[in-house]
Structure 1
């Protein structure tokens, strides 16, 4: 059995006195404190911290500027609403005047073009954009009802004459084509030969082999032909006009 009370050199324990332990503890604490105080922060760390702080300050300044701007606008609109409303009202008045002037000019242009159109006496002088704009004016028809009764044509023919509009085509020099259209469908076509012949009344007419005369006078298009009933020669005249809205440029 081993005796732990003896102080022989074979013992694996070494006892230290209280004074020695106290000195060792003081030296260790001083060493740790020295190591903590002797390591200053690196320049990179200080710079990074300053940059972060400066960026945060700049962001707050921008936010404050934006908020201040909107507050300024709100105050401005609150204290000076009458001036802004007055400017808007003046602008609206100017727009109304400009619209009225433009409409006046447009109406004058349409009237001038209509007057020039009414002076046309030859089919070839009709503007291209108006050649297909002729619509029937049954109130100006002459002899239609009598023609239908004499020729026993029936109500379908009367309805067709009242609904079909005219389209003129310039085939070649001294030759034109009159097309009767209904519901965007071509129903009949008449080839007119020239040159244009002037009558005593001043109208210049084209005609075809069936002696159908077509002429324009005072802004109206006339399609006229003769027929014989018994021993009597009679005439039928269809009249077409161009609606006013088509005279704008």
Structure 2
């Protein structure tokens, strides 16, 4: 079994002590293993996808080959005996999190910074090298990944970067947990577009009003004003 994602970070690095779920891949289909996962989940009342399978691993040979190139064996001593897993390495973690970095996920930013803090040398160069090694010379960062790389190239302190990324994630968590249910009462489709796309570009209260008007959604002024006061703090944006 191959372990990747947050579980791999937790196993490899001391800065992270837990993960929400277990991301894994098998070299081939295994109905018995899937039955065991379901049985354990039912016994301990875990949520349905407490173990998440990487389907792309079995369907894309090139992806599988590249994955194995960036994974190595990790041996653990357990009460039932010795366990061995093939675990994703840190270069893969950095590459994936930078190319698909999402500012609303607290763990993405924390993992990137945590991995870099455990290394010596120029952080920006290490990030670029990891991405090129995993995805090739033509690899590109997404918008948020580019923003983070720019901050690293400008020499931002990694501890400060970790704090700011966490605060930004809190901001987006507020957007989704507070605004999304309210907007769903008005228009479910519009709620998704506003919270997942429009909110990425909000900086002022007027930006919120413009988005709501664009989708024909009305919220009381007191809610819009409260949203702006809670969310638009300088520390969220001065990355």
- TM bin, normalised by shorter chain, reads under 0.3
**Structure exhibiting the larger radius of gyration computed from Cα positions:** 1
Structure showing greater relative contact order (alpha-carbon pairs closer than 8 Å, 6 or more residues apart): 1
Structure with the higher fraction of residues in helix conformation? 2
What is the TM-score with the length of structure 2 in the denominator? 0.18
